[in-house]
Amino acid sequence: SYELTQPPSVSVSPGQTARITCSGDALPKQYAYWYQQKPGQAPVLVIYKDTERPSGIPERFSGSNSGTTVTLTISGVQAEDEADYYCQSADSSGTYPVVFGGGTKLTVL
Amino acid sequence: QVQLQESGPGLVKPSQTLSLICTVSGGSISSGSYYWSWIRQPAGKGLEWIGRFYISGITNYNPSLKSRVTISVDTSKNQLSLKLSSVTAADTAVFYCARTPVGPEYYFDYWGQGTLVTVSS
């Protein structure tokens, strides 16, 4: 099977920058997507195609790709950003067209 | 504005078949512009893609679930359905339906609110 690896948790103080990583062998060839999920709610897309931000998503959310690792960066973190974040991508063979990372709990101290 | 709404029994007995429906409003499931997927999430755990359907009839399933899953659509009702057979307690989860625009990228732009299914005798 194909796996995307995320840290289980990240903690930052309000106003600081949070960086959440996602690692996978196929990431140099496959786009990554990021979702925010708050308790009891469905996930919401916050980044697509590694770096693009959907309309309505605050500018403080950004994405980057450096080979086998992609990173979601939240600049000037606000209390409302506390949530679980999931990366999503695919393997390079097409066997696993959709794979999610295990998720990262962002805690705003 | 498209909306997706999952529905179905909240309790299923072990070894039986789980059946869920996703009703799509504000857009046609037959448009050909989207894939339609099922995704599940056990309590306190991560997301797992189950499979997807395209109006041409093409389906793709997660290899780990492929032997037990069937996804189909009823175009007359604008509904997506999921059947998962031989369920066990490990299949207890919130089940979501979600939409993906057709294109080189593959992401979920709209999700239903999710429905909890518990497998228990």
Q: pLDDT in tens for each of the 121 residues of chain B?
A: 899 999 999 999 999 999 999 999 999 999 889 999 999 999 999 999 999 999 988 999 999 999 999 999 999 999 999 999 999 999 999 999 999 999 888 899 999 999 999 999 9
Is the pLDDT score of A109 beyond 90? yes
A62-79 core/surface letters (b: 16 or more CB in 10 A; e: else) = bbebeeeebbbbbeebee
Give the pLDDT of residue A93.
84
Q: Which residues contact A81 (CB under 8 A, 6 or more apart)?
A: A18, A36, A60, A74, A106, A108
Nearest to A86 among B37, B47, B64 (CB): B47
- How near does any CA of chain A get to the CA of B92, in Å? 16
- The DSSP symbol for B15 reads T
Which chain B residue is nearest to residue A94, measuring alpha carbons?
B60
pLDDT of res. A97:
86
* β B34-41/A99-100 pair status: unpaired
Q: What's residue A95's pLDDT?
A: 81
Nearest to A22 by CA among B49, A14, A13, A31: A31
Q: B91 near B50, Cβ under 8 Å? A: no
Strand, helix or coil at B12?
Answer: strand
Interface test with B, best of A30, A45, A98, A105 (most B CBs within 10 A): A98
Instruction: Give, for A29, the enclosing helix (H) or strand (E).
Output: none
Indicate if the pLDDT at residue A48 is higher than 90. yes
Sign, CA dihedral B18-B23-B24-B29, equals positive
Whether residue B48 lies within 8 A of chain A, CB to CB, comes out as yes
Identify all chain B residues contacting A45, using CB atoms and an 8 Å cutoff: 107-109
Please give the biggest Cα pair distance in chain A: 41
Instruction: Tell me the nearest-neighbour CA distance from B30 into chain A, angstroms.
Output: 22
